[in-house]
Amino acid sequence: MSETTNQTASAPEKMEFRTELKQLLHLITHSLYSDKRIFLRELVSNASDAIHKLRFDSLDSQELLGNDKDFKIHIRADEKLGTLTIRDNGIGMTRAGVIDNLGTVARSGTKAFLAKVKEATANNRPDLIGQFGVGFYSAFMVADQVEVLTRQAGDPADAGTRWKSDGQGEFTVESCDKPNRGTEVILHLKEEEKDEFTNTYTLQQIVRQFSDFLEIPVVLEEEVEKEGVSKLEERILNDQKALWLRPKSEITPEEYNSFYTNLTGDQEPPARVIHYAGEGTVEFRVLLFIPSKRPPSFDYGEPKTGPRLYVQRVMIMEHCEALLPRYMRFVAGLVDCPDLPLNISREILQHNKVLETIRKDLTREVLKALRILKEDEAAKYRIFFDGLGGVVKEGVREDYANREPVAGLLLFSSLRSAPGDKTSLDAYIEAVPKEQEEIFFLSGDSEALLRASPIVEAYRAKERDVLFLTEPVDEYMLPGLREYKGKKLRGADAEKPPEEVAEKPPESGEFSNLVDLMKKWLPEVADVRLSTRLVDSACCLVTPAGGMSAHLERMLERMGQNDAPRGKRILEINGSHQAVQALRGLAEKSPEDPRLALYSQLLLDEAFLADGTPLPEPGAHARRINDLIARDAAR
């Protein structure tokens, strides 16, 4: 609706659409738009563009405005006639402009354009934002006839033009009187669409969803009967308060909180607000919110991800996944970028350098905001992390470029922290001796289980810390977190023993008979060895170098992946423990004693239980305990 060419009006005439336009009409009305409500967004956006064009032109020609300086976009539904009308007082069009704009699409070459649309995938359809024709034709998704009345600003009242078409192959153009400048689009709705698109509540919802922040008021005209007299009343549908376009210094916390609540439905104030303007080769405005706790939507299936995308206040996408990495799906808000290329339907972004620039910038700002929250408001960050830390951890594995900054945001329970408290990787590194080159961790089903594990006895004795990884996502994260700030991460239950160990056990030669016999009686383990890591416990299980942790094996089994490879583990025994020393004596004295097999199996069962691994045969374990009780009681 932005054509300004002034040509003399001609007599009414019937014309045919170009062949290519017929094909494109069919494509637009049947294929390109996934949501037919988009038509109203397109027509309202066109009206807004027309008003902005007139505003610009009137800077040099004030006479174009006349006495009509109150810019509005009017919407009126007539349930009886089955029509929907969108009217503006913008720049308008001449007769020649109507024929040019509404009979032709992509004047640089319609055939080439059509070929591109047909060949394109959802990710690379050509850009046509700002070209009136394409968005206008989305009206035929809901209307079986469309009528356009228009007059260019500055032209006389009798210089109006009426355009009409059913979208099938022909259109008519004729001169008409039009007292007011601008354009009026009248949709004669299809029978099956009348109930929905003459419903004022539906129209209000569509405008608020897609055009709520347009600078121009979008007004709904409603006929109201009072005291037997019908009267036309106007109700503004859009909010018009584009908070992200205002300076931060002018916005109160209450305004941010209200905007966030209206956007998300979350009644709690956000933990952090990110509001800035990106400048340089790409200009864009950003208003993002980090929630204070886990949003309710995360507990009801996988939430839709990505901030809203606006172009000059018009919402193009409700959830633009391409704007932020998936692990930041808790971030709500919007980005307004007038320079961002979009596809023909304004629904799918073209993946290009502009988008990559915005994504990198947003990711950096979100990480910065989380870091500041963690450092300056630890209690608030703890609440956030308790609810969403598992989501943040995904970033260690998925965002290689920001792996270390994401890791710096993580919190873990640990051996040296009080139960229920958490520490960070940075705090861990600050507390370790200078000579310690590794960050030790232990994964399991619960903090209580890991605190009681025999694996951590040596660390506790030497006042060394071990991070406890108790969430399922930790196993997914670990391959992406091989080291942090120069210190490698290593499982405390790994085959290679830590150097900060307990007192060394007696020489292995004294236990060689027992070790050999236990290997014989316990074929389910990879090896039996004397331990350098145990203090109070008699035994423990460790993972061979390069093997899958027991915790990960258990997780895979719970997920039904029973065909995943399972590895045998190493049984370590504590040569200083009384029970192991008693077994050593029995092995030396009576290597054929059947009790050796019984006691060896009991030690392995003990190691399984301490590890959190379900016993392979609980019934057999119970019988072994009962036999032991009966034998001891009979003495």
pLDDT tier, 7 (very low <50, low <70, confident <90, very high otherwise): very low
pLDDT at residue 582 greater than cutoff 90? yes
* Together in a domain, 510 and 495: no
Over range 440-461, report the average pLDDT.
92
Over range 310-331, report the average pLDDT.
88
* Together in a domain, 123 and 216: yes
Which residues face 311 on adjacent strands?
Answer: 314
pLDDT tier, 249 (very low <50, low <70, confident <90, very high otherwise): very high
* Together in a domain, 213 and 285: no
Q: Tell me the C-alpha distance between 283 and 279, whole Å.
A: 5
Give the range of the structural domain holding residue 456, as residue numbers without chain letter: 410-501
* Together in a domain, 564 and 607: yes
Q: End of a domain among 236, 263, 280? A: 236
Over range 363-390, report the average pLDDT.
97
Q: Tell me the C-alpha distance between 261 and 348, whole Å.
A: 27
Residue 586, exposed/middle/buried by CB under 10 A (0-12, 13-18, 19+)? middle
pLDDT at residue 295 greater than cutoff 90? no
Over range 628-633, report the average pLDDT.
76
pLDDT at residue 74 greater than cutoff 70? yes
pLDDT at residue 286 greater than cutoff 60? yes
Nearest to 382 by CA among 370, 394, 364: 370
Structure confidence by residue, pLDDT tens digits, 327-348: 999 999 999 988 765 543 444 4
Cα 119 to chain center, whole Å? Answer: 29
Q: First CA to last CA across the chain, in angstroms? A: 103
Q: Could you tell me if 453 and 491 are in contact, meaning their C-beta atoms sit under 8 angstroms apart?
A: no
pLDDT at 501: 43
Residue 520 CB-half CA count within 13 A:
13
Structural domain contains residue 1: no
* Together in a domain, 340 and 476: no
Q: Tell me the C-alpha distance between 506 and 530, whole Å.
A: 9
Structural domain contains residue 515: yes
pLDDT at 504: 52
Structural domain contains residue 60: yes
pLDDT at residue 5 greater than cutoff 70? no
Q: End of a domain among 501, 523, 553? A: 501
**DSSP per residue, 91-133:** ----HHHHHHHHH-S-TT-HHHHHHHHHH--TTSPPP-TT-HH
Q: Mean pLDDT: which of 491-500, 550-559, 563-572 is highest?
A: 563-572
Any idea of the CA torsion for 582, 588, 590, 593, to the nearest 10 degrees?
60
pLDDT at 99: 86
Structural domain contains residue 5: no
Q: Is the pLDDT higher at 59 or at 194?
A: 194
pLDDT at 8: 43
Structure confidence by residue, pLDDT tens digits, 530-545: 988 899 999 999 988 7
* Together in a domain, 23 and 145: yes
Q: Give me the CATH number covering residue 343.
A: 3.30.230.80
Counting the structural domains of the chain, the total is 4
pLDDT tier, 224 (very low <50, low <70, confident <90, very high otherwise): confident
Structural domain contains residue 399: no
Averaged pLDDT of the chain: 84
pLDDT at 281: 81
Structure confidence by residue, pLDDT tens digits, 115-156: 544 554 444 433 333 333 467 888 988 999 999 999 999 999
Q: Could you tell me if 237 and 218 are in contact, meaning their C-beta atoms sit under 8 angstroms apart?
A: yes
Structural domain contains residue 266: yes
pLDDT at 519: 93
pLDDT at residue 440 greater than cutoff 50? yes
> Which of 311-325, 384-398, 418-432 bottoms out in mean pLDDT, i.e. has the lowest?
311-325
Over range 293-300, report the average pLDDT.
82
Over range 21-48, report the average pLDDT.
78
Q: Could you tell me if 94 and 3 are in contact, meaning their C-beta atoms sit under 8 angstroms apart?
A: yes
Would you mind telling me the total number of residues written for the chain in this entry?
Answer: 635
pLDDT at 31: 60
* Together in a domain, 37 and 178: yes
* Together in a domain, 231 and 125: yes
Residue 177 CB-half CA count within 13 A:
1
pLDDT at residue 350 greater than cutoff 70? no
pTM: 0.74
- Residue 349: CB atoms within 10 A of its CB come to 21
Residue 506 CB-half CA count within 13 A:
13
Q: End of a domain among 190, 216, 236? A: 236
Q: Is the pLDDT higher at 247 or at 121?
A: 247
Q: Tell me the C-alpha distance between 511 and 509, whole Å.
A: 5
Structural domain contains residue 402: no
Tokens found for residue 612: 């959190």
* Together in a domain, 608 and 533: yes
* Together in a domain, 42 and 176: yes
Helix (H) or strand (E) holding 42: helix 38-58
Residue 280, exposed/middle/buried by CB under 10 A (0-12, 13-18, 19+)? exposed
Q: Name the DSSP letter for residue 494.
A: B
CA distances from 129 to 255, 308, 344 (A): 32, 18, 7
* Together in a domain, 93 and 135: yes
Q: Name the DSSP letter for residue 320.
A: -
Sheet holding 527-530, edge to edge: 527-530, 570-573, 539-542
Provide the strand spans (E) within 294-422: 308-311, 314-317, 332-336, 411-414
Cα 144 to chain center, whole Å? Answer: 39
Structural domain contains residue 30: yes
Provide the strand spans (E) within 322-434: 332-336, 411-414, 423-424
* Together in a domain, 440 and 584: no
Tokens found for residue 115: 């070929």
